Structure 1
Amino acid sequence: MKNQKLSKIFYSRAFEKIGLIPRSIIRTLNRFLKQLFEQTTDTAPNFVLYEFRISRYQTIASIKCFINLICFPYLFHFLVQQTIIYPIFEYEWNQTDVLMTINQVEQEKIFIQFQNFDEQWFFQDLLNYHHQYSTDQNSMNQTLMSLKSERHPYYSSYLAKLAEKRNTDWITLISTILSDCLTFFIFLKLLFLSTPQLIILKSFLIESIYSLNDTTKSFFLILGTDLLVGFHSSKGWELFMENCLAHFGFASDKDFIFLFVSTFPVILDTIFKYWIFRYLNKISPSTVATYQNMLE
């Protein structure tokens, strides 16, 4: 009898009755109702409202920090270059006679522009004076020589326009580089002053990323890798390098661009794969497994 009673007591303690609704759902519902309908006092605050306010503050602070770090440097760069630096350099450049040497790249560029101008002007003369031509070869050669001699006075004016454009390009280049340096220091100052906001922004981004499911995370991983180091990303890197070289006043060197395109995406792809193997595999193994399955 004693053994039967002990077995019943042990059985009732070890195996609880399973209800229709899981106990975790009941506990979560009770906690939610308690937080929702509990009156706010000094000792029992409304945690739902408190968490909502914290989440709203985190979102607003993250958006403000992101806008300040992205929009303010661009606005500062535009205003400083257009209102301060460019007018000062333009005035000083026009007041003083600056002797500038022309390198080989600029000579080729000016020669191509001048050659295109000459060919367009000659073609327009042919269209305007086509009635002067005849079947005689001598008369045709004389007409061509006369048309060419008539264009000589316009060469000097066009060369003056090219020189003026070259001076404008140099002023723009110098003002752009100086504005970039000032904007870079302002950006570093913003990073130093916005340290608390950056911490909030980092936590907001991490929370937003972790809230995504594994399929969505893998989708963004594949999209980012294909855009940066994918098969068709080489054209984008070529355009990026050409714009960067033109922005800082360097000539578009095809050999340097091809060397960059053939090496930098490979290095970036290696770093990305190492990051997946070293960090992401520890943080979220399910995301790595889903990512590999989607690639296959």
Structure 2
Amino acid sequence: MKYWNLKKINQYAFEKTGIVPRSMNKLFNRFKQELNPNAEVEALEDFKAAKYQTSTSVKYIIFLFVIPILINQVSKIFILDPLINQLWNKKSSSIFLNLSQEERAFAELQRFEEKLHFEILTGKINSLSNDIVQQKMSSKALEIALEYSKESSNAIKNIIADCFSIIIFISILIINKRQFSILKSFINESIYGLSDTAKAFLIILFTDIFVGFHSPHGWEIIIEAILRHFGLPESRDFIFIFISTFPVVLDTIFKYWIFRYLNKISPSAVATYHNMNE
């Protein structure tokens, strides 16, 4: 039975898009099944195959993402933390990895100084001598230096640990090709099995979030977080160029997918999408 299930799953996984929409094929297959005297037995076997496909896909998704994350965290805690802290904090005099970190640190120190003088002028705190003000500034500067030194060392750890995770992720994909084909079939069946309204809703939601008129600010936050995660300079020119090009490319790919695949498989969903989008 398991051999039959695998054969059935592989047929689903490598099913090609034909000239006739898949919905029409399913309609003809349903009539054919109803006239088949062995329909109950085949329905039970199809159910077992679908159950096996779902359970295998869920387990593979968990394995595919949990293992790289565990490798990432374990390598940081037990290998990279002691090693990078030893090299960066004790054998390196550097604090910043790039100019963006310096600018943020200097701006933070300047804001602290302005806040301190403002509180003195408004009488919120008692007038302080220049020595005490200088002492407070030195203490704040040391605090900022320690904070950005830690951020720099964490960025180095993130680069190495993420490389480990990517290698593990790709290795899992290469080694478990059969499970990947089952997962691909499961995703395709889940997406194309949705109702036309649900498909149109997801399409509009996806396009509005990632390629809509209000998405540039979200992309800016995401890119800044990624650059800061890896300790890369937060170049405004690069961020603006990325925002002005990548969503356009993504929108083009998405429209091509609608025209090339979804329009053949489910033309009613495309019509519903256009009606909801107008």
TM-score, reference length from structure 1: 0.72
Shift of 1:29: 8.4
Distance 1:262 1:247 in 2: 22
SS of 1:151's equivalent in the other structure is helix
The 1:84–1:274 alpha-carbon spacing in structure 2 relative to 1, beyond 3 Å, is: same
Residue in structure 2 matching 1:128, options 110, 125, 132: 125
CA deviation profile, 1:259-290 (whole Å, cap 9, x unmatched): 22222111211222222223332333333233
Q: Note if contact 1:218-1:288 (Cα within 8 Å) is conserved in structure 2.
A: yes
The 1:109–1:215 alpha-carbon spacing in structure 2 relative to 1, beyond 3 Å, is: closer
Match of 2:104 in 1: 109
The 1:289–1:124 alpha-carbon spacing in structure 2 relative to 1, beyond 3 Å, is: closer
User: For this pair of structures, how many residues does the alignment match?
Assistant: 246
Runs of 4+ residues over 6 Å off in structure 1: none
Letter of the aligned partner of 1:236 in structure 2? G
Q: Rg bigger for which structure?
A: 1
CA deviation profile, 1:171-207 (whole Å, cap 9, x unmatched): 1111111111111111100111221111111111222
CA deviation profile, 1:142-175 (whole Å, cap 9, x unmatched): xx6x622332233333333333223212211111
CA deviation profile, 1:210-230 (whole Å, cap 9, x unmatched): 322323222222222222211
Q: Note if contact 2:200-2:269 (Cα within 8 Å) is conserved in structure 1.
A: yes
Letter of the aligned partner of 2:124 in structure 1? L
Match of 1:246 in 2: 228
CA deviation profile, 1:70-100 (whole Å, cap 9, x unmatched): 232222212221232122211233442x133
Distance 2:193 2:99 in 1: 57
Match of 1:159 in 2: 141
Match of 1:66 in 2: 61
Structure scoring higher RCO (CA < 8 A, sep ≥ 6) equals 2
RMSD, aligned CA? 2.8
Distance 2:234 2:107 in 1: 15
Matched, 1:100 2:85: no
- The 10-residue stretch of structure 1 (112-121 or 230-239) with the greater mean CA deviation from structure 2: 112-121
The 1:30–1:195 alpha-carbon spacing in structure 2 relative to 1, beyond 3 Å, is: closer
Matched, 1:90 2:81: no
Match of 1:8 in 2: none
- % identical aligned pairs: 42
Residue in structure 2 matching 1:78, options 73, 78, 83: 73
Which consecutive unaligned segments of at least 5 residues does structure 1 have? Answer: 1-23, 37-45, 130-143
The 1:199–1:166 alpha-carbon spacing in structure 2 relative to 1, beyond 3 Å, is: same
Q: Note if contact 2:72-2:162 (Cα within 8 Å) is conserved in structure 1.
A: yes
